[in-house]
Chain A
């Protein structure tokens, strides 16, 4: 009931001035090209975040005091400050220090560094959750620490970290909308531009919501599920 009373004004507005399909036919190609950019920002930053998560997650577990401290400082900094501020900093401030990255690169870097910091903590938690017995068994088999990590611990870690990582990746997809603020022509940027010239806010942002949902629900999540199954099969849990 409450949902219906929320939706009705929205749907009415959709039907109002212009027919929604007329709008859709005219602007779908532009929004689709924006969505492509969003997918590229998302793909590149997810890759960067994954690499960073793994490296810094393992560094956090290092016996070496210096390595551990470096990882802690990195994670604390990027997790403890605002993503939007980091984005502006890379886009507006780094050039003053002589490093000018393209808007696309700035966006990917900020998102990758920020989400990598969260991911590193997931990796650390995952490694620590591998049952004690597995560590001891590897030791009993006379494996070196590196062998133990590579052959026993890390493969089992994947099954543990993939569900929370999938969560983070969906979050990352939606966070990519922030790159519109540093002139990357992504889905959000295109939506804002269409809104600025047509004022069809309900149609534009409604469509953008649906596109984000479709990207998350029908492309990203099935892919991440597949990865989870794959990882489980590798360690004989499927």
Chain B
């Protein structure tokens, strides 16, 4: 059924044609991608990936839950076939893996204690107030903070989203920088202890597109995936699958979005 998509088959396409399940790799980052009680793929990136795969005729899948910083090494070690963690398309990542066409445009924000006592809205405020800034190892925000000039002594790197909130709860950091979605999720969980800053206060260049990560050795699968995605993106199925996680039409990547542009400029 799916074989129609693959004129010339790479390893992943071969596997799928042979009836083997496609393996989705992601970390625990609510609401982007996270496992359910039995490892089932939840979060909007997983949800929309499943819509695209269904369009390709692929309904057989498995999941692998990893540390965020282990996602790209795990893909290269063929522990799974695609990364559905919700990865920004960054130059440094494009050097190692391929990305699908963008699945949306997203921004980061600061998570701060309620009332924002230090008045932190972006990286420059962090530098001015000598605050400690926590984020996840391997997150896009690590590179962004560096480019904006935040000294390493003010940075605190933890394993992922879960540890970010734990560090904030324990008072080990003054502010956290993460995706706006991730920060909002943390605010909801903290019973008013924290608030999220306006994403518009962050430097404009840090806004970025997110794609599905794939091995460079699977170009035919990538092409087939993009072709199928073009048919369903922003459609009723796509929006219905992602709505429960807070994804709206405002997150759609836009007509002029391109992975090549993000790879070259982000």
A residues lining the B interface (CB < 8 Å): 30, 91-96, 100, 103, 181, 183, 185, 192-193, 195-197, 199, 201
A181 & B67 in contact (Cβ 8 Å cutoff): yes
A193 & B65 in contact (Cβ 8 Å cutoff): yes
A183 & B77 in contact (Cβ 8 Å cutoff): no
Pick the contact of B66: A95, A100, A183, A197 (CB < 8 A): A183
Q: How far is the CA of A100 from the CA of B74 in the complex (A)?
A: 11
Q: How far is the CA of A199 from the CA of B189 in the complex (A)?
A: 8
CB distance from A187 to the nearest CB of B (A): 15
Pick the contact of A196: B77, B79, B162 (CB < 8 A): B162
Given contacts A91-B77, A183-B79, contact A193 B35 (CB under 8 A): yes
Give the chain A neighbours of B37 by CB distance below 8 A. Answer: 30
Q: How far is the CA of A201 from the CA of B189 in the complex (A)?
A: 13
Give the chain A neighbours of B244 by CB distance below 8 A. Answer: none
CB distance from A41 to the nearest CB of B (A): 17
Pick the contact of B73: A30, A92, A192, A199 (CB < 8 A): A92
Would you call B70 an interface residue if the criterion is a C-beta within 8 Å of the partner chain's C-beta atoms? yes
Give B80's nearest chain A residue, CB to CB: A183
Interface SS of chain B: mixed
Give the chain B neighbours of A185 by CB distance below 8 A. Answer: 39
Give the chain B neighbours of A183 by CB distance below 8 A. Answer: 64-66, 74, 79
Would you call B166 an interface residue if the criterion is a C-beta within 8 Å of the partner chain's C-beta atoms? yes
CB distance from B73 to the nearest CB of A (A): 4
Quick one: CB contact mask for B147-162 with A, threshold 8 Å, 1 for yes? 0000000000000011
Subset of 6 A-B contacts with CB under 8 Å: A95-B79, A181-B67, A183-B66, A185-B39, A197-B34, A201-B166
Would you call B28 an interface residue if the criterion is a C-beta within 8 Å of the partner chain's C-beta atoms? yes
B residues lining the A interface (CB < 8 Å): 28, 30, 34-35, 37, 39, 64-67, 70, 73-74, 76-79, 161-162, 165-166, 189
CB distance from B218 to the nearest CB of A (A): 15
Using A92-B74, A199-B189 as known contacts, list a sample of 20 further A-B pairs with CB atoms less than 8 Å apart, ordered by residue number in A.
Answer: A30-B37, A91-B77, A92-B73, A92-B77, A93-B77, A94-B77, A95-B76, A95-B78, A95-B79, A96-B76, A100-B79, A103-B79, A183-B65, A183-B66, A183-B74, A185-B39, A192-B162, A193-B28, A197-B30, A201-B166
B65 & A100 in contact (Cβ 8 Å cutoff): no
Q: How far is the CA of A100 from the CA of B165 in the complex (A)?
A: 35
Q: How far is the CA of A193 from the CA of B29 in the complex (A)?
A: 11
B64 & A96 in contact (Cβ 8 Å cutoff): no
Give the chain A neighbours of B161 by CB distance below 8 A. Answer: 196
B28 & A100 in contact (Cβ 8 Å cutoff): no
Give the chain B neighbours of A30 by CB distance below 8 A. Answer: 37
Q: How far is the CA of A195 from the CA of B166 in the complex (A)?
A: 10
Give A102's nearest chain B residue, CB to CB: B79
Give the chain A neighbours of B34 by CB distance below 8 A. Answer: 196-197
Give the chain B neighbours of A192 by CB distance below 8 A. Answer: 28, 162
Q: How far is the CA of A30 from the CA of B77 in the complex (A)?
A: 29
CB distance from A199 to the nearest CB of B (A): 6
Give the chain B neighbours of A94 by CB distance below 8 A. Answer: 77
Pick the contact of B77: A100, A195, A199 (CB < 8 A): A100
Q: How far is the CA of A181 from the CA of B70 in the complex (A)?
A: 9
Q: How far is the CA of A181 from the CA of B66 in the complex (A)?
A: 7
Q: Enumerate the 5 nearest inter-chain pairs by beta-carbon distance, A residue then B residue, closest first.
A: A95-B77, A92-B73, A196-B162, A196-B28, A92-B77
Q: How far is the CA of A96 from the CA of B74 in the complex (A)?
A: 10
CB distance from A208 to the nearest CB of B (A): 15
Give B64's nearest chain A residue, CB to CB: A183
CB distance from A94 to the nearest CB of B (A): 8
Q: How far is the CA of A32 from the CA of B192 in the complex (A)?
A: 34
Give the chain B neighbours of A201 by CB distance below 8 A. Answer: 166
Give B66's nearest chain A residue, CB to CB: A183
CB distance from A141 to the nearest CB of B (A): 56
Give the chain A neighbours of B70 by CB distance below 8 A. Answer: 92, 181
Give the chain B neighbours of A193 by CB distance below 8 A. Answer: 28, 35, 65
Give A185's nearest chain B residue, CB to CB: B39
Q: How far is the CA of A201 from the CA of B162 in the complex (A)?
A: 10
A96 & B77 in contact (Cβ 8 Å cutoff): yes
CB distance from B8 to the nearest CB of A (A): 24
Q: How far is the CA of A181 from the CA of B137 in the complex (A)?
A: 14
Give B38's nearest chain A residue, CB to CB: A30
Give A195's nearest chain B residue, CB to CB: B162
Q: How far is the CA of A195 from the CA of B189 in the complex (A)?
A: 12
